[in-house]
Structure formats: structure tokens, C-alpha cells
Amino acid sequence: MIMEEEVDDERIDYFKLDEPEFEFEAEDHNMKSGFVGFFSNGSGGAYFDQFYIEPIDCTDKNQKPHEYKWVPEECNRFRETYKGGPVELRWEQLDPEEPEDGPGQWKVEKNKYGRSKVLMQSTKIYSKSTNQDGSRVSLVDRECNDGHISFHFMALDKGVVKFMFRYVDATEYYCIEFKPDGAYLMRALGGTYMEITKDSGVMLEKEIWYKFKMQIKDVEAKFEFRQQGETEAFNLFDEGIEFEDITDGSIAFETFKCRALFDEIRLAPQDDIDLEQCWASGDPLCGNMEDYIDADEYSLLAEGEEASDILKQCIEDHSYEHRVMWCDEEFEE
């Protein structure tokens, strides 16, 4: 790279590197998309020219030099921290045609029902369609085909809260509808919206925080659901349901005749690493423990070996889910 300025047809070099071009490679195994930026400090100015990005083909993870099998292939890491700018940069909103009591209002709100920040839909928007369409937001630039997904939610009204996974577009996805009379597993495909099964053991009540977690791989999935404060999770739906019609996609949320809050939204890939060993090795690809554990939980770990033992046991019990997908419960209760 040569940094230069052209003044009156005279070219002035501010400085030159040994090579005519400065090249570097960057690998990110966590995110599906992002930006490249420049920063300068303590100088009169910096000039950049002939900047371009050349994509390269992905290589097989087994050919990489590090020994940890952790590179996500089927699910991008994501955690909604409310720090990435406006909501619409991460979530794409879709309202039904000719809605009643709309439009939907998806915003980050502070100090709601014991949470410092939440993603809130603040209207009782609905449509008169048979599908009970409401206001929807889908996560952009992320996919989670096989992996772990978790979130907390609260309904503020007697309505319907929907969670979509393997969300391809507005007409192709799987959906769980949480209603006052039960949870419904649905599928939207080929212009049809149909019920797969129902679980009457889960009845949505308003102004209660619920915790939902799922693990999906290939055609199999496991769903767990519980109220905050409960020590045991409730397994949703019967085993043996196959999710083979739709194999990839993102996630989405929707509300129908219901205001709702969402928090602790996280995606994580299917990994089989010993993360503590990875941290101890100093491998920069592993990140830091603080990246995987909430600040309050990390401070608790620092207080003594007892808390650390809890985490280690949780990691042993749940394999990769230690990324605070499951093990956070050890510290919240």
C-alpha cells in the first residue's frame, strides 16, 4: 500500500511500505457477514487508495492448523446485546396487509419487568387471516440450520407469541405458536400453513417470563420450555418429529393481538470442544471466557472454585451448550 496525495500534478509520498501493496488475510469463524473499517489516531490524516476485498473459497475445517473442532458451519453465533445500532439493522420487520391496531412497533426498551433492556413489540396488531398473522421480525444476515437457539419472552396480553426457526422467507419456515390453550408446532411451506402437532402442557399466561431452548440437528430437534424460577424444564412435543422439509434458514418472532418482550436471544453452533482447554491454550480463535459468560456470571466464577466447579460439571453434562445456552441457569436460580 502506498499512501499519497496528488497536489498540482505533483505526487507526494507520505510514506511507503517495502512492498508496493499491503495484503492481509482475515478469518472470522463466528459471523456470517460484517464490515471492514479503518482507524487512525494521533496523526494529521491518513489516506487510503485502491482498496478492494477478494473473497476466497472456504476450506474444510479439518484442514485448519488448530486442533479444536469448533468452526461453526451450520449456525452463526449471535447474541442480542442491544448494542449493534438500531433494531432494524439486525431485525427485518414484516406486518400483514391491512392490519388492525397496527403497525407493529419493535423497539429496544429499558427497565421492563426486571430486565435492563428488552426487544419489545408494543402494539396489539393483528390481521383477520386464518393464519392469525401479526407483526413479525426476522434476524438478518444470520442462519442457524443445525445448532442451539434460546430466548426469554413475556406476553403482556392474552394473545399469541410465535417463534419461527429455519426461517427462509415469509412463506417457508417452521413455527411454534404459544397460546393460552397450548403450544402448536406449525409448518409453512408451498403456500400452506399447517399444524404438525400440539402440546397442551404449555399454556401461555401474561406477564410471566418464559425461557425457551432448542437444539436442532439434521431432521431431529429437542425443545425445552419453562417459567422463570422453575427448576425443571418441560420438554415440548413428542419425540420422533422429523424436520426434513426445510433444512436451513434464520429465526423470527411474531405477535398476534399481543404486546410482548424478548430477551437473551442467542444462537450457537453444534460444537464438540473443550472450551476451557481452548481458553487455557491461548488460541486467539477461541476467544475469552468473558465472551461466553455473562459479566455477572463471570464475576461469580472469579469468587472461588465452587462456582467454577458448577460450570465445569454443567459443561460435562451438556457438551457444547456451556456457552451460557444451558449453564446460565446454574447461576440465575
| Domain-ending residue, one of 238, 269, 300 | 269
- What is the Cα 241 distance to its own chain's centre? 24
Same domain, yes or no, for 288 and 145? no
Query: What is the per-residue pLDDT for 21?
Result: 58
For residues 316 and 327, the answer to whether their CB atoms sit within 8 Å is: no
**282 and 181 in a common domain:** no
One domain, residues 97 and 165: yes
| Nearest-angstrom CA–CA distance, 293 and 307 | 13
Which residue type sits at 90? R
Question: Residue 41: inside a domain, yes or no?
Answer: no
pTM for the full predicted model: 0.66
CA distance 261 to 111: 11
**What confidence category does residue 40 fall into, taking pLDDT thresholds of 50, 70 and 90?**
confident
Would you say residue 164 has pLDDT above 60? yes
Q: Are 214 and 310 in a shared domain? A: no
Residue that is written with C-alpha cell 458448577 in the block: 310
> Containing domain of residue 299, as a range?
275-332
Are residues 138 and 189 part of one domain?
yes
27 lies in some domain: no
Asked if 225 and 102 sit in the same domain, the reply is yes
- CA 245 to CA 60: how far, in whole Å? 27
Residue 245 has pLDDT above 90, yes or no: yes
The residues, ordered by sequence, that sit 6+ positions from 54 with a Cβ below 8 Å of its Cβ are none
Cell of 210: 418464559
pLDDT for 77 equals 81
**In this structure, are 294 and 171 located in the same domain?**
no
Q: State residue 160's pLDDT score.
A: 96
* 177 pLDDT more than 60: yes
Note whether residue 52 is domain-resident: no
Q: Looking at the structure, do residues 193 and 296 belong to the same domain, yes or no?
A: no
Q: Report the run of H or E that residue 331 belongs to, with start and end.
A: helix 329-332
Count of domains forming the chain:
2
Residues of the chain above pLDDT 70, percent: 62
Q: Where are the alpha helices (DSSP H) in 32-139?
A: none
User: How much is the pLDDT for 16?
Assistant: 47
Most confident of 32-41, 149-158, 211-220, 269-278: 149-158
Residues 106 and 235 in one domain: yes
In this prediction, residue 78 carries a pLDDT of: 85
Q: Which residue has the higher pLDDT, 115 or 304?
A: 115
Which of 269, 284, 316 represents a domain boundary (last residue)? 269
Question: 265 and 279: one domain?
Answer: no
Domain end among 225, 247, 269:
269
**What are the CA-CA distances from residue 76 to residues 136, 147, 209, 269, 272 (Å)?**
21, 9, 26, 6, 15
Q: Largest Cα–Cα distance of the chain, in whole Å?
A: 79
Domain shared by 210 and 94, yes or no: yes
Residue 250 lies in a domain: yes
Contact predicate 118/109, CB 8 Å = yes
